[in-house]
Amino acid sequence: MRYCYIFLFVCLTFVLCSAPLLFAAEAEEEAMTKKSIVVLDFDNLNKKETELDWLSAGMAEAILTKLRNIKSLKLIERKQVLKAIEELNFSTSDYFDKEKSEKLADFLRADVIIVGSFQEFRGKIRIFARFVDLKTTEVMDAAEVRGELDDIFDLQDQIALKLMDRMGVEVTRAEKKKVTKEITKSLSAYEYYSKAISLPNEPEDKLEEKISLFKEAIEEDSKYKEAYNDLAVVYMDLGDYEEAVTHLKKAVRADFEYSIAHYNLALCYENLGDYKKAMNSYQTCIEFEPEYLAAYVGMSRVTELREMFDESLDYVDKILDIDPENVDAYNQWGNVLYANGRYEESVEKYKQALEIDPNMPFLYQNIGNAYFMLYKYGSSREAFEKAIEIDPEYSDAYSGLGRTLTALNENVDAEAALKKAIELNSQNFWARYYLAKLYSLNGDSKSARKEYREAFKINSKNVDALNDYANLIYEEEEYDEAAEIYGDIVEIDPKYFWAYYNLGNYYKLMGKDREAVRQYKKALDVDPDYSYAITQMGNAYWNLGDQKNAEEAFRKSLEIEPDSSYTLGIMGDLKYEHKKYDEAIDWYEKSIESDDQNIYSYLGLGNCHTVNKDYALAEKAYKVSLKIDESFQYGLLRLAELYDTGKKPEKALIYYKKYISIYSDSSDAAEVKKKIESLSE
């Protein structure tokens, strides 16, 4: 997830329209073109005096905060830059290395890199910056300011304005006013803030230190909006969105036009599931910054989540109007199609995004997910493996790969992939969820339960995971506990079909058929065409003695799924109970025609033939059921009874004995033992 507060470091310059380094014929056109700019930390040239190292990030962040107000500049956010630098092993001096610079340019889709330094001597400071073409490694121009360290805020304004002047960029009066607006009046607050943003996000003790420093900055300046915002971002990284909202609201109170804070507020509300507030905050962000593309992406994403698919694609169009080669727009376009179940089309959009930038692992991740939904597990596997090739530490790609390998029945490799995902990110909910499902599939209930518990520590409201866990314990006869979870699910998502359906099954099992009917009806309100739920509702009606509604339900189910062997067989059972044996035989034969392995329909067919005294046909039907399943309880019992009443004691004895050897604890066991004793005399 992208936190947008563009926290991009340092003095930024564009294209020097008047400089001889630009092609003269293109000078005017270049001045109108947005250059994508990367800014690196400034070097402290006083290598032995590290007490001012915090200025490397702080000064750059302050200047960038100012330059973000200039619409003709396009800044690449610091988070992306740091990731690229780490992955490409890029250092400050590498901007002279043409091969490495080109790789950085391609990775970030950047044109210009800004590198700089500062030097302090006896309370005075000199700040120097170079602007380098990433493709040619040619130095385009430089800028320098000098002054008192205590006047650092004025120096930042000077260099920002100087950069604008050198670039030949027209700055409106309103933009100039924003550029020179004070970020903070407190030098100590600025120092605390700068030290905080200099710290990494890991390990945990650094995060605690980071939070403490941001709070110190706020203590020094209660209106320091950047400190509130960046403190909130730390809490967002920790998954504490409610705490983040608290600080973002303070940032907005400090400056209501602070678009980044509105954007981050929207992200928080989105993660908290409050999509209406998320949309309001995204929209406010766009009002103050009409070309804030990430906010349009957010609006598209939230409208997609609210199933407002046309509106979602409208926002994609708006992004592409501003930036026709925006990777996020094509990715979101793919996401909307994916959400609509149009998986093939979503793959095409993800591939269009890859044509723009082939180095985005999350695009291969999305392609892998789409192919998975298309049951193209081989293609899915290739996509996830490509994502991992680009980013070997991409935890989500390993979890997707693990799920795909599970579908391919490569369970050992699937387990290894999912464990790798968790090793890379212990908070990867999907990896733990898929691992729990894998253990459950393998019959390892103990390990499955453990992983479900770990998954729920990360996300306790994922309805699919909760439902799967409830199903697991339901199968192990923990019925009441499972029913409680199904109830929790519908509180989270009132439109979750499976929870209502499973509750219906629970109440039917408990003999509470009236409540079962009520739950099945709720399930069918969500999905009216799920025939099996209609059939189960018919069974509940039947248990209540309401055979009219039962038959009506069965027939409605068969209108939706005419070849349902189960429902056809149930219709046979209903006619059998009504003593309409010939009609029952017709239904059973239709059931068997649909599925010749349906042992219960053979059983029903045998029962009908027995009543009709067609004993040879009855014997044949029972034997077929036992051929399919030689331990079929009712097949053994009915065949034994058929031979018993037919005066074939030797054959009856064989099947009674076989029955009792398997079902010695059944309710019929005592009676069967008496039969055996009687026939053995």
What pLDDT is stored for residue 154 in this prediction? 86
**Going by C-beta distance under 8 Å and a sequence separation of 6 or more, which residues neighbour residue 429?**
455, 458, 459, 462, 465
CATH 3.40.50.10070 fits 1-183, yes or no: yes
What pLDDT is stored for residue 8 in this prediction? 29
Residue 557 has pLDDT above 70, yes or no: yes
Give mean pLDDT, residues 392-415: 97
Identify the CATH assignment for 563-618 out of 1.25.40.10, 1.20.1050.10, 3.30.1330.200, 1.10.30.50. 1.25.40.10
What pLDDT is stored for residue 58 in this prediction? 85
3-class secondary structure for 70-124? CCCEEECCHHHHHHHHHHHCCCHHHHHCHHHHHHHHHHHCCCEEEEEEEEEECCE
What pLDDT is stored for residue 483 in this prediction? 98
Considering only 86-95, 374-383, 647-656, which range has the smallest mean pLDDT? 86-95
Helix pair 327-339, 309-322: axis angle to 10 deg:
170
The DSSP H or E segment spanning 126 is: strand 124-133
What pLDDT is stored for residue 180 in this prediction? 85
CA distance readout (Å), 428 to 421, 446, 658: 7, 20, 51
- What is the gyration radius of the CA atoms in the chain, in angstroms? 35
Question: Tens digit of pLDDT for each residue in 154-197?
Answer: 888 887 787 777 767 788 888 888 888 888 989 999 999 999 98
Paired with 126 in beta bridges are 119, 146
User: Collapsing DSSP states into helix, strand and coil, what is residue 135?
Assistant: coil
Residue 399 has pLDDT above 70, yes or no: yes
> Token pair 């009709």 is at which residue?
612
3-class secondary structure for 365-433? HHHHHHHHHCCCHHHHHHHHHHHHHHCCCCHHHHHHHHHHHHHCCCHHHHHHHHHHHHHHCCCCHHHHH
Paired with 124 in beta bridges are 121, 148
Question: Tens digit of pLDDT for each residue in 607-640?
Answer: 999 999 999 999 999 999 999 999 999 999 999 9
Residue 124 has pLDDT above 80, yes or no: yes
Biggest CA pair distance of the chain? 117
8 A C-beta contact, residue 337 and residue 309: no
Give mean pLDDT, residues 3-20: 30
Q: Among positive and negative, which fits the CA dihedral 329, 330, 335, 341?
A: positive
- Is the preceding peptide bond at 203 cis, omega within 30 degrees of 0? yes
CA nearest to 406, candidates 374, 431, 370: 431
Residues 333, 338, 340, 342: what is their CA dihedral angle, to the nearest 10 degrees? Answer: 100
Alpha-carbon distance of 449 to 452, in angstroms, equals 5
Question: Tens digit of pLDDT for each residue in 337-374?
Answer: 999 999 999 999 999 999 998 989 999 999 999 999 99
What pLDDT is stored for residue 89 in this prediction? 76
Alpha-carbon distance of 22 to 29, in angstroms, equals 11
540 token code pair:
């509940």
> Given pLDDT bands bounded at 50, 70 and 90, which one contains residue 674?
very high
Give mean pLDDT, residues 234-255: 95
Considering only 23-32, 47-56, 161-170, 265-274, which range has the smallest mean pLDDT? 23-32
What pLDDT is stored for residue 18 in this prediction? 31
- State the pTM of this model: 0.75
> Given pLDDT bands bounded at 50, 70 and 90, which one contains residue 20?
very low
